[in-house]
Amino acid sequence: MQAQTRFTWGIEWGYSGVFLDSHTFNYFTTDGVRVHDSNTVFELHSCGVFMLNAGVNIGSNLTAAVFTGYTSVFESRKVIPYSLRTTYFFKGCDNAGWKVFLDAGSAFPLKGSFNRKPLIIAKAGTGYRIPIYKNFCLDGFLALQYAADHPLAIYDKYTHTPVPQEVLRRSDRSTLGLVFGLSLTL
């Protein structure tokens, strides 16, 4: 049966566990010494994920949807993400079966967050869809999430004091994490 093009909307919630945090900072101290601070750590930062989406079925196996909501990409960095997700359903959009998806977009920090500059986020994942009633479906999902950031507020690795922005030459931070949860789609 050929699926008709139709609009969809849904809600998604789950858990985000960031397990890899890497940064490279380069700045001058008050004495004029250039400092290069680079480190990669494996530690767990946990956060809830709440997303709303609106999309369209493109053919019988493919959907495209816009997502927004709330999550955290690492400690002190709560954000509102905006992304586009493309999902392929192996047995059709409205049937029980496995799916794969790619998701990419930007995220904007909440007021009072560690810093106010937007960052890039991307996800690749898989999941399983269970139809509940007609077009109403429950999906479980698991994804690997990458986030790239350029923090404006960093701390000197020797004095633990804030580094003024005018002496900051490089500020890169990236994270990897696992996201899993449930979604309801209509």
Domain ranges of the chain: 7-29+43-185
- Of the CA atoms within 13 Å of residue 20, those in its CB half-sphere come to 12
Pick from 129, 135, 2, 139: which is nearest to 59 by CA?
2
pLDDT at 158: 87
pLDDT at 155 (0 to 100): 86
- 7-29+43-185 belongs to CATH 1.10.287: no
Q: Residue 116: helix, strand or coil by DSSP?
A: coil
- Predicted pLDDT at 24: 93
Q: Give the global pTM.
A: 0.88
For residue 82, what pLDDT is reported? Answer: 97
The pLDDT value recorded for residue 104 is 98
E-assigned strand segments in 29-167: 34-58, 62-74, 77-89, 97-109, 119-133, 136-149
Residues 6+ apart with CB under 8 A from 107: 71, 73, 79, 80, 81, 82, 118, 119, 120, 121, 147
| pLDDT in 10s for each residue of the chain, 186 residues | 455 678 999 999 999 999 999 999 999 988 889 999 999 999 898 989 999 999 999 989 999 999 999 998 776 678 899 999 999 999 999 899 999 999 999 999 886 555 567 889 999 999 999 999 988 999 999 999 999 988 877 888 888 888 988 899 998 989 999 999 999 999
Cα angle 176, 55, 70 (rounded to 5 degrees) comes to: 40
What's the confidence (pLDDT) of residue 116? Answer: 66
